[in-house]
């Protein structure tokens, strides 16, 4: 048996631009997970990868090592009647797709063990949205999680301590060493966690536009392609969609407001809009990848049927109740979801059409209102945010505001009003409505 190489020698090799083998990468990731690599060594490794990159083989090996650094969920003992499916988004503003897609896929025969995260930077987090529901637990015991995935078909929870522990430590070090924006590290971080969930298929929603982490379409398409290829080589067929984030996906941003919007879609109160179109497209790809539909047309017909019948809404209600939330959330959301004491309509300085918006700035405005975290551990106000956000090319005037600000105080509303006007440009000319789904990249397991 070969003696393990010294970590510093492996770091040196990567620093000098050499490709690391699967065994070497496994040793480094094991050291990250068990603490035998110091923070200095983890930071040096991250910087070496950031500067020198990794080839496709290295990225696959890193992804698999992170996946295998802790528990890999095994669903075989539950005798599930359908495939285990999941979705992940690179994040955006007004992006509440997971709240709708998870129960929608469950209603179509899939099983969705969705392990989600909290808000990061200007983007909202699925867990923060769900915690706007009183009593909802994002940290259930394993037995409850598995039971809901089997019986309800969906459970959206937070990452457990046993799932991809190497990623938690590596990401924390990357966050403070200016090495976050590395394609191999981004891809292995996303996929290491997701593939540890024992999936039969995955769909990725890679955002592009002013509200995306990768705002250029070229960079977003590159990320989507690499994710799909690495995940499929790691054993999970994956489809990546490049979707638009040049304006908020939903007409609202803020945790309780977004839960309200999800309920409106699921219950049929609302049957149109960008959010529904993107969610429907992602869900159709997932049904096809999971062999629950033989064609896109069949997938869309099945999705429309389960939404219209109330089956998707019923799955959402059972998931919420099963994780400690109210049993009548769908019937009486206003009785359970917090409302801000100050709600103010913000109008443009002159009538016109919405020409462009800085979507990232809108997300940061929600964070500053208290709807996100300015530092780790900061408490979130679930009630604050923006609603009735105007769309690109929509006419705004004295009747139609740019948005409604939901704030904890008049002072907060004043500040948000100024920020909102600065983020949305109004003019006289028509503005082009962007394509919602820019590209679809499908990859099967080789």
Establish if 369 belongs to a structural domain.
Answer: yes
* Whether 261 and 124 share a structural domain: yes
* Whether 121 and 254 share a structural domain: yes
Structurally, how many domains does the chain consist of? 3
* Whether 326 and 348 share a structural domain: no
Tracing tokens 């987090």 back to the chain, one arrives at 125
Instruction: Specify the CATH number for the domain of residue 325.
Output: 3.40.1030.10
* Whether 49 and 175 share a structural domain: no
* Whether 342 and 323 share a structural domain: no
Establish if 446 belongs to a structural domain.
Answer: no
Per-position b or e across 192-203, b if 16+ CB within 10 A of its CB? bbbbbbbbbbbb
Establish if 135 belongs to a structural domain.
Answer: yes
For residue 277, how many other CB atoms are within 10 A of its CB?
14
* Whether 264 and 140 share a structural domain: yes
Establish if 166 belongs to a structural domain.
Answer: yes
Residue 96 burial (C-beta neighbours within 10 Å; 0-12, 13-18, 19+): buried
* Whether 353 and 320 share a structural domain: no
CA pair distance 262, 134, nearest whole angstrom: 16
* Whether 274 and 177 share a structural domain: yes
Q: Categorise residue 414: left if φ over 0, alpha if ψ from -120 to 50, beta otherwise.
A: alpha
Q: What are phi and psi of 241, to 5 degrees?
A: -110, 135
Establish if 64 belongs to a structural domain.
Answer: no
Cα–Cα separations (whole angstroms), residue 361 to 122, 247, 253, 367, 416: 8, 11, 12, 10, 11
* Whether 318 and 348 share a structural domain: no
Give me the active site residues, please. 86-89, 126, 174, 189, 193-194
* Whether 362 and 240 share a structural domain: no
Establish if 375 belongs to a structural domain.
Answer: yes
* Whether 327 and 344 share a structural domain: no
Q: DSSP strand E in 232-329: where? A: 238-244
What's the DSSP call for residue 77?
G
Instruction: Specify the CATH number for the domain of residue 23.
Output: 1.20.970.10
Instruction: Specify the CATH number for the domain of residue 408.
Output: 3.90.1170.30
Establish if 322 belongs to a structural domain.
Answer: yes
* Whether 82 and 111 share a structural domain: yes
Closest CA to 306 of 274, 265, 250, 278: 265
- CB-based contacts of 328, cutoff 8 Å, min separation 6: 335, 336
Q: What is the pTM of this model?
A: 0.92
Range of the domain at 416: 338-427
Per-position pLDDT tens, the chain of length 446:
355 689 999 999 999 999 999 999 999 999 999 999 999 999 999 999 999 999 999 999 999 999 999 999 999 989 999 999 999 998 889 999 999 999 999 999 999 999 887 766 676 788 999 999 999 999 999 899 999 999 999 999 987 878 899 998 998 888 788 888 899 999 999 899 999 999 999 999 999 998 887 778 999 999 999 999 999 999 999 999 999 999 999 999 999 999 999 999 999 998 889 999 999 999 999 999 999 999 999 999 999 999 999 999 999 999 999 999 999 999 999 999 999 999 999 999 999 999 999 999 999 999 899 988 766 667 889 999 999 999 999 999 999 999 999 999 999 999 999 999 999 999 999 988 889 999 999 999 88
Establish if 38 belongs to a structural domain.
Answer: yes
């Amino acid at each position: 048996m070969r003696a393990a190489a010294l970590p510093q020698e492996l770091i040196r090799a990567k620093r000098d631009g050499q490709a690391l083998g699967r065994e070497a990468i496994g040793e480094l990731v094991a050291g990250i997970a068990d603490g035998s690599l110091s923070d200095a060594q983890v930071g040096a490794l991250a910087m070496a990868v950031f500067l020198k990159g990794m080839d496709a083989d290295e990225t696959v090996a890193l992804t698999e090592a992170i996946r295998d650094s802790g528990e890999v969920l095994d669903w075989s003992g539950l005798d599930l009647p359908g495939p285990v499916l999941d979705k992940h988004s690179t994040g955006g503003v007004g992006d509440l797709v997971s709240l709708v897609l998870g129960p929608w896929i469950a209603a179509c025969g899939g099983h969705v063990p969705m392990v989600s995260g909290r808000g990061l930077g200007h983007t909202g987090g699925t867990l923060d949205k769900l915690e706007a529901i009183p009593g909802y637990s994002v940290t259930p015991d394993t037995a409850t999680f598995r039971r809901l995935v089997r019986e309800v078909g969906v459970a959206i929870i937070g990452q457990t301590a046993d799932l991809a522990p190497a990623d938690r430590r590596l990401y924390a070090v990357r966050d403070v060493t200016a090495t976050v924006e590395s394609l191999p590290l981004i891809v292995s971080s996303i996929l290491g966690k997701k593939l540890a969930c024992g999936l039969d298929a995955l769909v990725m929603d890679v955002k592009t536009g002013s509200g995306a982490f990768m705002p250029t379409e070229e960079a977003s398409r590159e990320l989507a392609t690499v994710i799909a290829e690495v995940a499929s080589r790691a054993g999970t067929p994956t489809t990546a969609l490049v979707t638009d984030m040049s304006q908020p996906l939903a007409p609202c941003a803020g945790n309780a407001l977004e839960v309200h919007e999800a309920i409106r879609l699921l219950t049929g109160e609302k049957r149109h809009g960008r959010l529904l179109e993107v969610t429907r497209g992602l869900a159709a790809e997932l049904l096809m990848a999971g062999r629950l539909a033989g064609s896109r047309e069949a997938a869309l017909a099945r999705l429309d049927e389960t939404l219209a019948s109330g089956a998707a809404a019923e799955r959402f209600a059972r998931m919420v109740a099963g994780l400690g939330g109210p049993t009548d959330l769908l019937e009486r959301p206003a009785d359970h979801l917090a409302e801000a004491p100050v709600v103010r309509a913000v109008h443009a300085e002159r009538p016109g059409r919405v020409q462009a918006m800085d979507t990232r700035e809108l997300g940061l405005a929600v964070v500053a209102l208290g709807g996100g975290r300015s530092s780790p551990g900061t408490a979130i106000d679930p009630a604050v945010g923006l609603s009735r956000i105007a769309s690109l090319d929509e006419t705004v005037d004295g009747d139609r505001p740019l948005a409604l600000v939901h704030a904890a105080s008049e002072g907060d509303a004043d500040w948000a009003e100024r920020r909102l006007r600065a983020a949305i440009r109004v003019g006289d000319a028509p503005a082009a409505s962007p394509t919602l789904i820019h590209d679809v990249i499908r990859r099967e397991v080789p």
